[in-house]
Structure 1
Amino acid sequence: MKIKFWRVYAVVIALFAAGATYAAAPGVSQPVQADSEGPSTISEESGTLRVVNIDNTGIALWHGYGTNRHYAGRILPYGSRWQYSGTVTVPAYNSSETWYNVGGDQWVEGLYVRTFPNNRDTTYRIVAQRGVIYVPSFPIMPLPVDKGTPQTSRSTWSGYLHFTAGSAWQYFHVAYSSDQYEPPKYDLGGGEWVQGLREYTGIFTVAVPAHPTWGAAVYDRDLKPIRLLPAGSQWCTYGNRYINGAEYYDLGGQQFVKRDAGLMQVVNK
């Protein structure tokens, strides 16, 4: 069902009156039935959110949250940006779901938004570096793409990009997050940043320069050594990580080995 322009305009006016902050983009959606239950404590977290529904439509605005919610008669357009000033997590879909307050008693469902909390350090170190990233041979979900500064509230939301299994994509820059647990993002050209693809898989052979009998330390995600790989042993790798100024190969299971502790052979793109 199409929604006329005057109705969308009325939505925007009503949201401003309720205290929400708006950055416009077109799009509409239909409300869905409430299917979560149970209130929880409302946090004071604040930040920016964007409507990022995969089907490129807007999302319903609600009064209340969880099973206590009811449709507010308003739509937040796809791609629009809003300030939020409170969150609450309630049981949903045999798990839990976070809701975001966008002014007054107006809430949006976290399943359909992407958030940028004010208290989170989302700075990136961007390196001019060219290479190729590969899509796994098995199907994956569409991945979100930012255009501009990667994954900050200053980015211009670009939407979702559907990747073909087995395809290859050239990148021109790599953005390493200040959060050591977050994988790097790759610039596919024109400032379009994607996260979630690996550069390659390969075989890492332990060969410490000038010390052929030395092993190589394996580190956990906090960079604490957990074991030693024997000299000359070979291990599968799953891309690389840039942590605290040094580059590591990912051995899987949150285990990492320093790049300069051996030799890499790419075996599967």
Structure 2
Amino acid sequence: MKLRNLVFSALALGTISTATITTTADQTFAATASTTMSLDTTMYAARDTAVYTAPAGNTTGQTLTSGTAWHVSSKQIVRGTTWYEVGGDQWVKGADLSTNPIATALDTTMYVVGTYGAAVFNSPYADRQQTGQTLEKDSGWHVSGQVTVNGETWYEVGGGQWVWGPDMSADQPITQTPGIAMTATAYDPRVLGNYTFGYDTVAANLSVFPRGTKLNITFANGTSKDYVVRDTGTFAYANPNQLDIAMPNSQALQFGRQSITVRVIS
């Protein structure tokens, strides 16, 4: 977010006009004002905010856009109303500024990607506390607001309910099919004179896994690899729960017969 500072120079980009209309309030506000307090801080426009020539003075016709950040250099209280200076003789009412960044509205669906779900907080700001609720991993939620606090993004998933940005994603998670326990043998298509598709091929009963099905196979040693059903064989018709996996002959001879877990990717 770009930090803006109103300055008393008509030549600077984005500055507010320094034309000042003298009013009775401008001339007399000092008599009822508290001592000016010097500040050096950043505050945020809580709404489209009118700019005044002085505390309790006349409006300049300029406004601060809602959500924008501004450097505040001083503070005064006039007749119970707090005013902040955001540039040379450019003042805004304290009620129109916030010490916290302002959330922007959203209307979208996001999904929980946090490993343990997403903890829910009552605020995105420094005083935030967990509510005790957790959004389930892979669940989808309507997001109504977004704010960046100290470089971290937070999303509002309900009235005053916030979750940490990295725990959410706009991408819908892929629903994975459960693993299927099967047995497997191996063969080298080169030895059989049929090296059309390479070693990412499995032969399967096509009534179980149609040709072109993408499979993720987890082997007995815990490793896994993706394959595509491109072949079949006479064994498959009699053994629908068995796959024949293509691999170089030296590996196929060592593979033998082993239990595997098969998951359909697509």
- TM-score tier by shorter-chain length is 0.3 to 0.5
TM-score, structure 1 normalization: 0.33
